[in-house]
Amino acid sequence: MKRTTVLAVVLAGVVVAGAVGWIAGKSIKSPAQVAAEAEPPAASRITVPVETRTISSDIIIRGDVRFDLPATVTLSDPPAVLGGAAIVTLAPEADTDLAEGGLAMEVSGRPILVLEGDLPMFRTMRPGDEGDDVLQMEEGLARIGFDPGPVDGIFDTATGNAIEAWYRSLGYLPVGPSDQELAELDAAEDGVAAAREAVTAANQALTFARQPLPQSQLLQMQSSVRAAERALQEQKDLAASADAAAAAVVGDATQDLATAEAARVLAGDRLTQAQAGTHPDTGLPPTEEELAQLVQEAADATAAVTVAQGGLDQAKTDQSQTKRQGEAMVADATDQLAIATAQLAETTAPPDTSAERAALADANKRLADAQADLAELQARTGNTAPRSEILFLKSLPVRIDQVFVERGDTVSGQVMQVTGSRLAIDSAISQADAQLVEVGDAVVIEETFSDVSTTGKVSFKADRAGTDDVDPQKVYVEILADEDIRELNGMNVKLTIPVETTGGEVMAVPLAALSAAADGTARVQVEHDDLTTTFVEVTAGLSAGGFVQITPISGELRAGDRVVVGTQPATADA
């Protein structure tokens, strides 16, 4: 809604405020009217202080008080003894009150207990069940002082323990697991035990497979490696010595060849000189014998070169063969060391335990499955809430008015009639007000003449006008009182339903203090100590009872400041 529209509505309330006494008499005028009048006599201002208060808009109606309507209690599935008969072993007592958590009666030696709730007991609740009925059970157990654990709509061990405590407090044993359930539980526990034994055996097998090499074998393997290392080094040393010796022989043969070559060249030079006519030793022409001798010397020197060359070739051949033999011996020793090292590594390496590890993993999985099955069974095995032994009534406590069975009777249906102990109030509201009221809204209940008051809540609102024997233009509502004030029964009481409130104290002024500026904004006129005035722009909020909530927008405004609500003509004495 636009601000100008809100302001127009609020200002319209000025007329109402005038009706309840804020502006008395026809001579009281608004600031706008005063400004329009210029004729004497001079008017004086009427001011009131700015207040802090809670403003609420209420629906006020009247209603007739009664107790909750009577109800008949029926056992549709009573506990039965062997043979199927449900026998009353303890009958209800008329003219007694039945409180929540109490014993209503006993059938076949089993208790019939009562809790408050809207849902009937449509099944036996067992561990693991979930739903609104379980939530209702948990809420009831908590109300009567037995802790069901988290109130979450899940029937767990804590819920079963609370039921057991409740039963035992009344002298009864709860309904526990059946023989079949106990047998299944024992079987599941045996399965877990067997799975644990399988895991233990698989762990032992894996531990044995991982056992280290005996110390003597390890030492023997390490000794073999060291022996192979020494043999390799010896072969390397022998090969190096043989290579050196062969190289020395080649060196000597090379030197011998060089010497033979030099001797051959010298013998050739001497022969050439002699053949030229001069003996190299005498300087004279050689004789035939001397020349023949020099020829022989040259031939011997050439033969010596051939022999030296052969010796060098043989030495090189021997050196090559020695090198090959040494390399072969070193290679063999290297292979032996590699074999010994590999044997040691293979012997000391972690064993292949893949099969044992797979067997252990499988055993662990079977154990986990067995434990999960056991946990699920345990969660579903325990105390139950039998459908045949617990009654949910819509309101408690109740009064037992009539009893339809006696001890020894066979239960076949109705067992008692009860009357609710809570006060209910029948009333009606206009169709317009019905749009503002919801089930659960708070209500103030007052009986004017006896000065008795209490509180309650709207428990029911009809979906259309004219139902439940009310005026065709009105909507039926039922209110339930929070307290059991029995003296109100049968009376016609005042009902106040707050439908809108500021939720706490706010700054408020009478509706007459509001005026509209030329631009449509709301304002109040504040009178100062020196009797001068200023306008303060405000936002108007909730209005009720002749007051309106205000929040200053510009200018200062505090509780206690005086604001103008009207004027009155000056008197002759003024």
**CA terminus-to-terminus distance, the chain:** 45
> How many helices and strands, by DSSP H and E, does the chain display?
9, 22
| Whether 267 and 321 share a structural domain | yes
- Asked whether the predicted pLDDT for residue 21 surpasses 70, the reply is no
- Asked whether the predicted pLDDT for residue 441 surpasses 60, the reply is yes
Residues 434 and 464 sit within 8 Å (Cβ to Cβ) = no
Residues 101 and 378 sit within 8 Å (Cβ to Cβ) = no
In this prediction, residues 41-50 reach a mean pLDDT of 83
DSSP symbols for 193-233: HHHHHHHHHHHHHHHHHTPPPPHHHHHHHHHHHHHHHHHHH
In this prediction, residues 482-486 reach a mean pLDDT of 78
Q: Which amino acid is present at 36?
A: A
Tokens of 270: 């001497």
Q: What is the rounded distance in angstroms from the CA atom of residue 108 to the CA atom of residue 114?
A: 17
Tokens of 554: 């510009």
| Whether 464 and 536 share a structural domain | no
Only one residue has tokens 């009333």, namely 427
What is the reported pLDDT for 488? Answer: 85
| Whether 522 and 460 share a structural domain | no
If one counts every other C-beta atom within 10 angstroms of the C-beta of residue 24, the result is 11
What is the reported pLDDT for 369? Answer: 95
Tokens of 244: 């050196």
Which domain range does residue 192 map to? 179-210+356-377
What's the whole-number average pLDDT of the chain?
87
Alpha helix positions (H), 20-145: 31-36, 132-143
Q: Which amino acid is present at 112?
A: I
In this prediction, residues 451-473 reach a mean pLDDT of 92
Pairing of strands 414-420, 103-107: unpaired
Only one residue has tokens 């060249």, namely 265
| Whether 524 and 508 share a structural domain | yes
| Whether 224 and 341 share a structural domain | yes
Under the banding of pLDDT at 50, 70 and 90, the label for residue 4 is very low
Query: What pLDDT digit, counting tens, does each position of 298-308 carry?
Result: 999 999 999 99
Most confident of the following: 39-48, 143-152, 277-286: 143-152
What's the whole-model pTM score?
Answer: 0.45
DSSP symbols for 79-101: ---TTS--BEEE---TTEEE-TT
**CATH assignment of the domain containing 485:** 2.40.30.170
| Whether 327 and 261 share a structural domain | yes
- Asked whether the predicted pLDDT for residue 574 surpasses 80, the reply is no
| Whether 148 and 249 share a structural domain | no
Residue 53 main-chain phi, psi, to 5 deg: -155, 160
Residue 67 included in any domain: no
Pairing of strands 398-403, 442-447: unpaired
Residue 71 included in any domain: no
Which range (112-126, 478-492, 511-525) has the least confidence? 478-492
Q: What is the rounded distance in angstroms from the CA atom of residue 525 to the CA atom of residue 550?
A: 13
**CATH assignment of the domain containing 320:** 1.10.287.620
Burial level of 447, CB count in 10 A (0-12/13-18/19+)?
A: middle
In this prediction, residues 207-222 reach a mean pLDDT of 84
| Whether 520 and 480 share a structural domain | no
* Beta-bridge mates of residue 539: 551
- Asked whether the predicted pLDDT for residue 16 surpasses 60, the reply is no
| Whether 90 and 131 share a structural domain | yes
